[in-house]
């Protein structure tokens, strides 16, 4: 009787074919997930997921394309407006303090478990707060640490908003074109407002060291003796009252930068890291709550996302989320 041994070559071929099937199936699943995941996020039944993703994308100019690919501007605006933020007119005479000219600066770590981590800089003399800007303004931004070092700053955070555009290509610019108003040492450095009476959300510092937040016009700021200003918002605390009463503020979870002032004049400068495994990020309401905990009487949100940076004692304290490190920005808020 003859016996025949099965060919090992054929067995190898069948094994190889089965691996091809498995690999093909895995590739198909990955491609399918990549195609359907955005559709589920933006058009599926999960409202909270959609709000979080859209809010996080629209937090910073460099990531707005994520939402704009799938949703119209009208739909994005409707989603963002589902969490309304109350507009409170600041009483510019309510904050009265005696500046003791205490020149101390403190740094404290901020932590909310595994959700987020960050830092708070506490500046007791508010007249030390200044606005710095890129030496290439109008063409290119510079890193927060670069501008801070050029100014001889003790500490600094990134500042106002900007148009991230180069020529006709959006979302690839260098952060050199600020939006709104930029005032430094009493001089208007940049201004794209339609008139001196047009109001825009600002972070402004008067000669006496009072922090202005929320909508203000150039005429109003001039009358109040503003020496430093940038445009961004929204205001989170005005006249001791919080502006976000329910929801998370509608801007999703992201890295955050904010500034506030206590009733005694002390300035609070906050950054929260995000988009990292060690620190996912914070909502506007999270930032508001931190400012309330630290006793802020007025406070406002500043540009966040990949711009979020804190500089102190010749080094960057936080971990900017951009893979390349610090992002180029047009302006900073620094401690002289």
| pLDDT of amino acid 26 | 75
**Which residues are 107's β-sheet partners?**
121
How many angstroms separate the CA atoms of 170 and 66, rounded? 13
Angle, helices 47-59 vs 73-80, to 10°: value is 110
How many angstroms separate the CA atoms of 196 and 326, rounded? 34
For the stretch 188-204, pLDDT in tens is: 999 999 999 999 999 99
Q: Which residues contact 332 (CB under 8 A, 6 or more apart)?
A: 131, 132, 133, 144, 147, 148, 153, 156, 157, 158, 159, 311
How many angstroms separate the CA atoms of 189 and 69, rounded? 34
Q: Whole-prediction pTM value?
A: 0.80
For the stretch 132-151, pLDDT in tens is: 999 999 999 999 999 999 99
Task: Please check whether residue 235 is in contact with residue 213, taking contact to mean a CB–CB distance below 8 angstroms.
Answer: yes
HSE (side-chain half, CA atoms, 13 Å) at 196: 6
**What are the residue ranges of helices labelled H in the chain?**
8-43, 47-59, 64-68, 73-80, 144-151, 218-223, 284-293
What's the distance, Cα to Cα, between the start and end of the chain in Å?
99
Task: Give the pLDDT mean for 228-245.
Answer: 96
Q: Please report, for the chain, the start and end positions of each structural domain, with discontinuous segments joined by +.
A: 9-80, 105-335
Residue in 324, 308, 306, 328 with CA at minimum distance from that of residue 316: 308
Other CB atoms within 10 Å distance of the CB of residue 267: 24
Indicate the range of 97-106, 200-209, 263-272, 307-316 predicted with least confidence.
97-106
């Amino acid at each position: 009787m003859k016996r025949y041994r099965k060919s090992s070559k054929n067995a190898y071929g069948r094994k190889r074919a089965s691996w091809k099937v498995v690999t093909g199936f895995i590739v198909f699943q990955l491609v399918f997930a990549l195609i359907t995941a955005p559709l589920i996020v933006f058009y599926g039944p999960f409202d909270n997921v959609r709000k979080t993703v859209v809010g996080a994308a629209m937090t910073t100019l460099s990531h707005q394309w994520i939402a704009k690919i799938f949703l119209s501007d009208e739909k994005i605006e409707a989603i963002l407006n589902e969490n309304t933020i109350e507009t409170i007119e600041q009483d510019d005479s309510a904050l009265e303090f005696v500046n003791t000219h205490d020149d101390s600066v403190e740094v404290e770590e901020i932590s909310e478990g595994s959700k987020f981590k960050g830092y708070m800089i506490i500046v007791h003399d508010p007249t030390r707060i200044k606005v710095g800007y890129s030496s290439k303004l109008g063409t290119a931004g510079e890193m927060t640490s670069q501008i801070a070092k050029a100014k001889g700053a003790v500490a600094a955070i990134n500042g106002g908003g900007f148009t991230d555009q180069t020529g006709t290509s959006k979302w690839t610019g260098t952060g050199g074109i600020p939006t709104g108003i930029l005032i430094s040492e009493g001089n208007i450095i940049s201004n794209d407002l339609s008139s001196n009476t047009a109001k825009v959300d600002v972070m402004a510092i008067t000669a006496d060291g009072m922090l202005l937040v929320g909508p203000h016009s150039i005429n109003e700021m001039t009358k109040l003796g503003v020496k430093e200003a940038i445009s961004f918002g929204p205001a989170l605390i005005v006249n001791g009252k919080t502006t976000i009463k329910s929801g998370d503020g509608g801007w999703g979870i992201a890295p955050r930068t904010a500034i506030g002032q206590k009733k005694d004049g002390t300035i609070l400068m906050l950054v929260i890291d995000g988009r990292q495994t060690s620190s996912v990020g914070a909502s506007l309401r999270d930032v508001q709550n931190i400012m309330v905990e630290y006793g802020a009487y007025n406070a406002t949100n500043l540009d966040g996302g990949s711009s979020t940076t804190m500089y102190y004692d010749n080094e960057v304290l936080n971990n900017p989320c951009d893979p390349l490190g610090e992002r180029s920005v047009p302006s900073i808020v620094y401690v002289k």
